[in-house]
Amino acid sequence: MDIRLLKKYCDILGPSGMEDEVREAIIADIKDSGCEYSVDPAGNLLVFKKGRKRRDKTVLFAAHMDEVGFMVKHIDEDGYLWFGSVGGVDRRVVSGRRVAFCRSGVTGVIASKAIHMQTNEERGKCEPITDMNIDIGAANREEALQSVNVGDCAVFAPDFEPFGEGLVRSKALDDRFGCAVLVDMINGDPEYDTHFAFNTCEEVGCVGASQTVFNTRPDVAVIIESTTAGDVLGTPKTQCACEVGGGAVISFMDGATLYNKKAVAYAVETAEKNGIKWQYKNVIAGGNEARSYQRGAAGAKVIAVSAPARYIHTASDVLHTGDIDAVERLAFALNERSFENV
């Protein structure tokens, strides 16, 4: 994968419900590939790419366009913005972070109570997001309203960079990396006719995928995602879901989906045959859009192929470029197969 493509997607401000700019960037990158595409009422981008053959089964590859963020719910007389989270954001990673607002582009800093103002009981504890505010440098409410309104959304400020040995760090790697994988697939030369979905609002309940499954009714859905890595300080091996640098992650169960054993075996077999580095997700937790495809319409066989991510849903998601390549190779390899026995 071209890391410049990944950076372009990660730098876009696109929380749940505001994926328009992400979608337009993707359309610009695929429109000359010979594919057919449409946008449904939920904002999902649905793509069909004709291959050299036609499968007996309808196969769809999916990723989501949205990222976690914040929504303004009150602006006080001093110009501070009080907010709630959009999607699952750990309050421990919020205070002091720079954010950027989607509509105006104005930046701000998330503030919490100064330590010298905290009581002895408050010190050493992380206060709720509802007690934090965003400072955009406004002198008062009237000045703040020139840039931001109640209901406006912000995300962690873009700051994509490579670091360490083969690592990249950025907001929104979950799941702009999956979008980049699908774009590469669409711009390729697939063996079989294939459907693709770039979905909205995954971070607030997989809303977009719930519409996509009714629009496309796939027999098999392959979800390209990020998943929480366990190789961080203090995590016991028994709770290490997967490791950064360990290859593509194949899930057999998570907090929302029990994956079909035959489909899981199919993904593992494909990885093995193609010499692709892979690992199981070893902790039953979390979830992704697979649940929507498994439960919606007539149901579908689902496969989740993920990249292990450290510090997911923060300003500094971390992926290994080797894992990104392994996921992409596995996605391409799966799409060269008929899925006849799944």
> How far is the CA of 238 from the CAs of 10, 232, 234, 242, 282, in angstroms?
32, 13, 12, 11, 8
Enumerate the β-bridge partners of residue 85.
70
Token reading at 161: 């960079």
CA neighbours closer than 13 Å in the CB half-sphere of residue 240: 13
Strands (E), 255-316: 278-280, 301-309
Computed from CA positions of residues 249, 254, 259, 262, in that sequence, does the dihedral angle turn out positive or negative? positive
Kindly provide the b/e burial profile for residues 175-196, where b requires at least 16 CB atoms within 10 angstroms of the residue's own CB.
bbbbbbbbbbbbeeebebebbb
Helix axes 173-186, 20-30, angle to 10 degrees: 20
d(CA 89, CA 94): 8
DSSP 214-266: HHH--SEEEEEEEEE---STT--GGG----TTS-EEE-SB-SS-B--HHHHHH
List, by residue number, the catalytic residues. 202
218: tokens are 């796939």
